[in-house]
């Protein structure tokens, strides 16, 4: 589809009818990215004070947790460190107390497994979603792409029919081709190649490991890129420098990285100079030293305050990921602060006995569905123990249901054909590197 038709006849009218003023905030954020760091901090402080004033009276959880704190003493954005943190267990166990009002027709609900394997559901207002989208599109412009440009997305496939129908509508409105990252063989990768030749996207978007799998297919079959590409945007997994160089070489296109999560949206995007800029208009991001759980002298845990979502505010939300703050300004001239060396997410690709491959996000979606059914899963990890066997470790919630085992076993076996063994555990340990590997494939030497 012509990008201008997609942009002006589909995308803009649809998001406007949903109550999302994306265009308005995109214009604003195109300007605010050039503010000096001190001006951006003042901008954030005004938003933070407004948010704190609101939650202190309108959100039960914060009315209690902040009752002993003099909020008028918040005179700088660094003063947010005085406030207590929330984490996924807070959202799971006290969700209703985090709501400022009952959801309505325009309130969106996002269920996400995230990088820690702890499914949670977040309510989002149209205003906060519009600001998320505006920050993302503003940042995509750094890579030379904009709203309406044809996109090929290597992504997950919803299990429920209603979610699949909704996804198809979104794909049409967004002018994008969806290519499943959940289950694929070499034959299916060949069909992806043909679809890409026909669709001719301007850019590819998707999981790092899935894009590498497709690049491997091209290399193994001596194929050129299916069409000229402006760029590749990677997300959801750690992008190492060797992976970046490999993707750039195979697809003959520059690679841009993005970092975010379902709970708060886009957190950081890569600019043309290769630095990851924080979306400061929407978020207050701290890098908190945590020597016990993977931090170091230079890196720490990412803690985020979402400044715009008054329906279900998240103040000092611990993501479970780690990064390093970069105090030096970027050569691009933007005042948006920079973070680097983001780590914490590690998904493997599981290969079933019949040769089909399953991206780790497939299993994340299974547990997100378990969360929607309130089956009592606090956290999970999937480990491939033999070619045809998986061990699923589950940290149960207080209301853990025995139905969760049959539900998950049925979903995984029906799709992959693999057997599932369950283990109830008290916690999921991180790797020595600090990464939390939710999906662990069989080691090559064991498989052999």
3-state helix/strand/coil string of 82-110 = HCCCECHHHHHHHHHHHCCCCCCCCCEEE
pLDDT at 447: 45
Orientation of helix 360-372 relative to helix 403-416, angle to 10°: 150
pLDDT at 404 over 90: no
Whether 185 and 349 have beta carbons less than 8 Å apart is answered as no
pLDDT at 445 over 60: no
Distance CA 147, CA 97 (A): 37
Torsion of CA 46, 52, 53, 57, to 10 degrees: 160
> Environment class of residue 10 by beta-carbon count within 10 Å: exposed (0-12), middle (13-18) or buried (19+)?
middle
Instruction: Identify which of 180, 178, 156, 207 has the alpha carbon closest to the alpha carbon of residue 369.
Output: 156
pLDDT at 262 over 80: yes
Q: Per-residue pLDDT tens for 206-249?
A: 988 889 889 999 999 999 999 999 999 998 877 888 889 999 99
Q: What is the mean pLDDT of residues 384-397?
A: 88
pLDDT > 70 fraction of the chain, expressed in percent and rounded: 90
Q: What is the mean pLDDT of residues 160-178?
A: 83
pLDDT at 261 over 80: yes
Q: Which has more pLDDT, 154 or 114?
A: 154
Instruction: Identify which of 358, 322, 326, 375 has the alpha carbon closest to the alpha carbon of residue 439.
Output: 358
Whether 54 and 159 have beta carbons less than 8 Å apart is answered as no
> Environment class of residue 74 by beta-carbon count within 10 Å: exposed (0-12), middle (13-18) or buried (19+)?
middle
> Environment class of residue 324 by beta-carbon count within 10 Å: exposed (0-12), middle (13-18) or buried (19+)?
middle
pLDDT at 292 over 60: no
């Amino acid at each position: 589809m012509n990008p201008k038709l997609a942009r002006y006849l589909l995308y803009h009218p649809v998001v406007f009818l949903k109550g999302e003023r994306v265009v308005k905030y995109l214009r604003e954020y195109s300007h605010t990215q050039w503010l000096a760091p001190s001006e951006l901090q003042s901008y954030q402080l005004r938003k933070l004070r407004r948010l704190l004033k609101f939650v202190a009276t309108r959100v039960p959880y914060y009315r209690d947790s902040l009752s002993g704190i003099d909020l008028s003493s918040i005179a700088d954005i660094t003063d947010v460190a005085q406030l207590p943190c929330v984490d996924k267990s807070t959202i799971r166990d006290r969700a209703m107390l985090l709501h400022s009002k009952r959801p309505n027709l325009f309130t969106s609900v996002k269920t996400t497994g995230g990088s820690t394997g702890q499914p949670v559901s977040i309510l989002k207002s149209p205003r906060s979603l519009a600001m998320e989208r505006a920050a993302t599109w503003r940042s995509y412009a750094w890579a030379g792409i904009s709203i309406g440009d044809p996109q090929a997305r290597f992504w997950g496939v919803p299990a429920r029919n209603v979610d699949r129908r909704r996804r198809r509508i979104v794909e049409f409105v967004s002018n994008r081709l969806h290519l499943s990252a959940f289950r694929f063989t070499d034959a299916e990768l060949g069909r992806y190649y043909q679809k890409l030749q026909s669709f001719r996207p301007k850019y590819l978007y998707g999981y790092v490991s899935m894009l590498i799998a497709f690049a491997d297919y091209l290399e193994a079959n001596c194929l050129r890129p299916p069409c000229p590409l402006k760029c590749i945007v990677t997300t959801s997994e750690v992008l190492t420098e060797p992976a970046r160089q490999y993707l750039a070489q195979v697809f003959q296109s520059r690679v841009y990285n993005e970092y975010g999560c379902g709970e708060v949206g886009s957190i950081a995007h890569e600019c043309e100079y290769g630095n990851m800029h924080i979306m400061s208009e929407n978020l207050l991001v701290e890098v908190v030293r945590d020597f016990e759980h993977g931090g170091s002298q230079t890196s720490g845990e990412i803690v985020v305050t979402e400044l715009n979502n008054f329906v279900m505010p998240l103040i000092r939300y611990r993501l479970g990921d780690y990064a390093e703050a970069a105090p030096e300004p970027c050569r691009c001239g933007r005042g948006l602060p920079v973070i680097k060396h983001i780590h914490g997410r590690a998904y493997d690709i599981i290969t079933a006995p019949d040769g089909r491959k399953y991206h780790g996000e497939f299993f994340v979606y299974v547990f997100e569905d378990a969360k929607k059914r309130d089956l009592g899963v606090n956290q999970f990890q999937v480990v491939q123990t033999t070619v045809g066997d998986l061990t699923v470790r589950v940290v149960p919630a207080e209301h853990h249901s025995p139905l969760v085992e049959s539900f998950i076993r049925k979903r995984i076996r029906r799709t992959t054909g693999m057997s599932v063994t369950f283990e109830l555990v008290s916690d999921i340990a991180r790797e020595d590197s600090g990464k939390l590997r939710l999906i662990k494939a069989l080691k090559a030497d064991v498989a052999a």
